[in-house]
Each structure stands twice: as structure tokens, then as C-alpha cells.
Amino acid sequence: MRRLVLILTVSVFVLLLGWRVVEHLRSGGTDSQGRGGRPAVAVTVAEVSVEPIQDVRLFTGSVFPQYRYLVATKVAGRVVSLGKRIGDRVRTGEEIARLDDAEYRQAEAEARANLDIAKAGLEEAQASLALDEKELDRARSLRERDLISDADVDNARSAFEAQKARTRLAEAQVSQRQAALEASRIRLDYTRLRAAEPGYVGERLVDKGALLPVNAAVVSVVGLDTVFVRASVIERDYGSIRPGQEAAIEVDAFPGRRFPGRVSRLAPVLKEESRVAEMEVVVPNPGHDLKPGMFSRVRVVIASEDAAQCVPAAAVVRRDEHDAVYMADEAEGVARYVPVTLGINAGTRVQVVEPALEGRVITLGQHLLEDRTPILLTGASKADTAGASRDRNLP
């Protein structure tokens, strides 16, 4: 058994040694120790690209309607008509349900009759007032000719003033009866339950024949032309969210489809127990595909650039509190340390604001490098470099 392990160990060593020799020959005979006797580090490289980039944050939330209201009774009564069911569209002012109105019609007729009586009383009072006014004028004329006494004039004046008061009372009674008639008409109109805003019936809460008290809900109506997505923002992301930022909504009902929206509001406080704040995203919904209650994933674009200099995120290293990348100097076969200023981080890709980078950036093995460390490119990148080395060796 010990002999078998020794044979396997030697075989693996020979295979590794052979692989290094082959790699040495393919790379044009370059010494694996590199310049100055330093060992070469096997690395992988990638191209520096100029492309659009976005900093996107992901949140989860729920869809809410633009508005939701209950159509409820304002008077008591039995439901005699209810023509809407869940999912039915309603228009502004459209009748949704009707209550038994016999009692309210009778009340309106009684109020109208009382108004007619009050008007007749007012006409009688006005006629009497006109007559008393004439009697007062006649008494004054007779007194000027000393045909009657002052007491007779005073009596005529008192009768006129009393009738004037009765006329004002009759006018007030007419106004009172008019108000009572209008109130009875309003109560009668309350037996017709109408939609205040257009939308769809979300819930039907009663059926025809139900005897309802005042303020009993009949149906709920939701507006879907625009919806809102409410999501929780953790404290770490709170400072990056601003109203007006672009967003995209994804729901399980429509896989692969994104609904464009925009951040409309951000709560000014965070909840102490969870350290999150509520964010509201407004989403146009002309096709009414998004429904209230849907679970949603929200992608908010924090920052974006149409043509950014980008490198793979794996290429960025942190040395001495500074960000940097290692560029592959393929002409000399060494790595060059380049401090960089980073911009948008898109996860797998990172924007390099400055300096402008030329060549290819090292994405694997850079943590073993220092400035001008000899490198050995692997994979397709190594083959490309080997071909370039052969071209340089041609006369």
C-alpha cells in the first residue's frame, strides 16, 4: 500500500513537471522565473470595455390600487337591485345598487304637500298685508282731514305691523318646507347607490334582498389606471433613494416582463423595530395587468452612464486604502499596478472613472501580484500572448 502511494505521488509530480515544460515551450521559451529571478504568476485577463452601466438596487413590495373606496348605504333599506359583480367595470355616477324607496317616496310627497300648504298660507298673508297697508293709508288720509282720531290711526298701524310679522312667518314656513322637501329628495336619492370614481368592482359584500342599516358596505371599487408599489428600504440603501428615480417592476404573473415606473415618495422616518422606511413607486397601468395585492420585485436605478469605461468587478483590488487594478503588460510579460477612481458598481462590472485604461486587466491571480511582477497568461488569453510573442520574434 505504501509503495502504491509513492508511485502515485511520483506520477503526479512527473505530470506536473511535464505540463510546466510544455507551457514553457508554448510561451516562446520565457523563463518561468521571469525577470530578476522572480517567479511568474499565472493570471487571467479580460478586456476593458466601454458600455452602458447602471447601479440598480433590488427591493420587494406589494401592488396597491390608485384608489379604493366602499360604496355604502346612507339610509337604511332592503336591496332590491344589485347588478354588479366582482371584476365588473363601473363608470363615474353609474348606479350600482338600489334600495327599496317606497317609504322615501311617500316622505317626499308629504314634504311637497306641506310646501304647497305653506305657499298658500304665504299668499293669504301677503293679501292681508296689502289690505292692511291700504287701511293704514286710508286712516292717515282721514286723520289729515280730522275725520278720525289718532287712536284710529294707531290701530290701523298696529294691524299692519302685525300682518307684516305674520307674512314674514309665512315666508319662513315656506323656506322650511322647501328645505324639508329637498331633504326628502336627498334621502330618496340615497336609495340609489352610485360609483364616485371609475374603476372595477373588487369585492361584492352583500346580495339582493339583504336588509341593510345605515353605512353598510355593498361593494368595493378600485382604480387600476395607475397603481402604486410600496416596498421597504433598509437603512443602508435609504440615502441612495430619491423621488424621481427610474424603477422597473416584476411580478410572478408575467415572468420576464418589466413594468416601468418611477419613485414617487419616500417616508421621512424609519421604523425603529425594523430600521426600514416605506418607498412608493408609481406605475402606469393602462392595460390593467398589475392587480392590487400582487407580490412585486422593484429594481430602482440609482445611477447610470450611457458610455462608461468598465472592468470586471473581480479585477479591482484594495491596497493601502486605495482601489486599483493590475494591467497586463504583455510586451514585457509583467503586471502593472494602476490606482483607479471607481464610479458605478453594477455587481459584476465596475465603472473606472479615471485614468483611461489601455490593454487588458487581470481578473484572476492579482492578489499575488505587485507592481512589475512577472505573469503567465492562462487559457485563451495565454494563447493570444504566445502568438504575439512569436510575432515579435519574427525577423
pLDDT at 150: 87
C-alpha cell at 166: 305674520
**What Cα–Cα distance (Å) separates residue 98 from each residue in 95, 136, 297?**
8, 58, 42
Instruction: Quote the strand ranges of the chain, DSSP E.
Output: 41-47, 49-72, 77-82, 89-90, 95-99, 192-194, 199-204, 211-212, 217-234, 246-251, 259-266, 276-284, 295-312, 317-319, 322-329, 334-339, 341-345, 349-354, 360-364, 375-377
Q: Is pTM beyond 0.85 here?
A: no
pLDDT at 8: 58
Last residue of a domain, one of 305, 327, 352: 305
- Tell me which of 379 and 256 has the higher pLDDT: 256
- 16: how many CB neighbours lie within 10 A of its CB? 10
Strands 295-312 and 49-72: antiparallel
Q: What is the pLDDT of residues 180-216, one digit of tens each?
A: 999 999 999 999 999 999 999 999 999 999 999 999 9
Cα(147)–Cα(145) distance, integer angstroms = 5
pLDDT band for position 381 (cuts 50, 70, 90): very low
Cα(33)–Cα(373) distance, integer angstroms = 10
User: How many domains does the structure of the chain reveal?
Assistant: 3
Q: What is the pLDDT of residues 204-263, one digit of tens each?
A: 999 999 999 999 999 999 999 999 999 999 999 999 999 999 999 999 999 999 999 999
How confident is the prediction for the chain on average, in pLDDT?
A: 87
CA-based angle 188:194:198, to the nearest 5? 165
Domain-embedded: residue 202: no
CATH of the domain at 382: 2.40.420.20
Q: Is the pLDDT of residue 264 over 60?
A: yes
pLDDT band for position 32 (cuts 50, 70, 90): very low
Domain-embedded: residue 162: yes
Residues 182, 110 within the same domain:
yes
Q: Which of 389, 285, 345, 356 is nearest to 67 (CA)?
A: 285
Residues 181, 109 within the same domain:
yes
Residues 384, 320 within the same domain:
yes
Domain with 111, as residue range(s), is 101-190
Domain-embedded: residue 40: yes
Alpha helices in 234-337, H assignment, sequence order: 235-238
Residues 175, 229 within the same domain:
no
Domain-embedded: residue 145: yes
Residues 343, 297 within the same domain:
no
**What Cα–Cα distance (Å) separates residue 225 from each residue in 37, 64, 68, 83, 322?**
72, 12, 12, 23, 50
Q: Is the pLDDT of residue 112 over 90?
A: yes
- Per mean pLDDT, which range of 137-151, 168-182, 274-288 is the poorest? 137-151
Last residue of a domain, one of 247, 275, 305: 305
Residues 116, 43 within the same domain:
no
SS3 letters across 307-375 = EEEEEEHHHCEEECCEEEEEEEECCCCEEEEEECEEEEECCCEEEEEECCCCCEEEEECHHHCCCCCEE
pLDDT band for position 378 (cuts 50, 70, 90): confident
Q: Is the pLDDT of residue 388 over 90?
A: no
pLDDT at 320: 83
pLDDT at 6: 53
pLDDT at 25: 46
pLDDT at 261: 95
CATH of the domain at 244: 2.40.30.170
Last residue of a domain, one of 253, 281, 305: 305
pLDDT band for position 19 (cuts 50, 70, 90): low
pLDDT at 389: 37
Q: Is the pLDDT of residue 29 over 80?
A: no
pLDDT at 41: 87
pLDDT band for position 335 (cuts 50, 70, 90): very high
Give residue 51's Cα distance to chain centre: 29
Residue entry with cell 304637500 = 113
